[in-house]
């Protein structure tokens, strides 16, 4: 398999272990960097919240000033939407239980906003933003089943109080859309955004930049 060129550098502005696992599983080299960007749900639409938060994270990435250029900075934000409202990360067990009870026996949307920024040798920055949606159907959950899950603590630090890749995967009857999007990073969208900023992720090579500032997977 062709290796990534030595001058391909990706900084992941996220502490999410799920996003790290997805990138590593796809064979994409990266380094993790903290971000000072503050998430907000103060947007008119859930999609705009996910995309806006992703961009804030990318822009707030604490990339070392001496880091070689060009490089990419990746920010992402995943939210769960039900009845038009956004479910963020639960603050405690009681809130996690309320969220899961709301999701029980019905479908909901998982939206991940992704922002990819390229910083060139000159210091010029370009950013493209997009989002992906996956519809997820949960089984009807009994109180004893909720308690068994909540006892495990997996609900912490997860939008909607669950991660499809863990024990809560048993709650899912079916999905429509990309599985990786529910985990936290739609890889199909990553391919599109990289191409817009001049890198062919599949061919592992630099190409002419194309497209606009926004992208959505078909």
The active-site residue, picked from 7, 77, 147, 151, is 77
Q: How many angstroms separate the CA atoms of 218 and 213, rounded?
A: 16
Residues 6+ away with beta carbon under 8 Å from 99: 80, 87, 90, 160, 161
Active site residue 120: no
Q: Catalytic site residues?
A: 77
């Amino acid at each position: 398999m062709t290796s990534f060129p030595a001058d391909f550098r990706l900084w992941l502005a996220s502490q999410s272990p799920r996003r790290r696992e997805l990138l590593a599983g796809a064979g994409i080299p990266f380094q993790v960097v903290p971000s000072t960007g503050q998430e907000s749900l103060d947007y008119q639409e859930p999609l705009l919240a996910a995309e806006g938060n992703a961009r804030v994270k990318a822009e707030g990435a604490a990339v070392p000033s001496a880091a070689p250029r060009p490089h990419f900075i990746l920010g992402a934000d995943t939210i769960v939407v039900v009845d038009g409202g956004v479910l963020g990360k639960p603050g405690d067990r009681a809130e996690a239980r309320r969220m899961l009870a709301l999701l029980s026996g019905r479908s909901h949307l998982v939206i991940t906003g992704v922002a990819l920024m390229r910083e060139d040798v000159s210091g010029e920055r370009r950013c493209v933003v997009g989002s992906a949606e996956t519809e997820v159907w949960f089984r009807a959950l009994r109180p004893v089943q909720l308690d068994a899950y909540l006892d495990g603590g997996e609900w912490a630090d997860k939008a909607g109080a669950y991660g499809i890749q863990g024990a809560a995967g048993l709650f899912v009857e079916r999905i429509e859309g990309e599985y990786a999007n529910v985990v936290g990073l739609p890889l199909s969208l990553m391919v599109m955004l990289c191409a817009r900023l001049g890198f062919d992720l599949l061919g592992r090579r630099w190409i002419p930049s194309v497209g606009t500032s926004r992208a959505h997977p078909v």
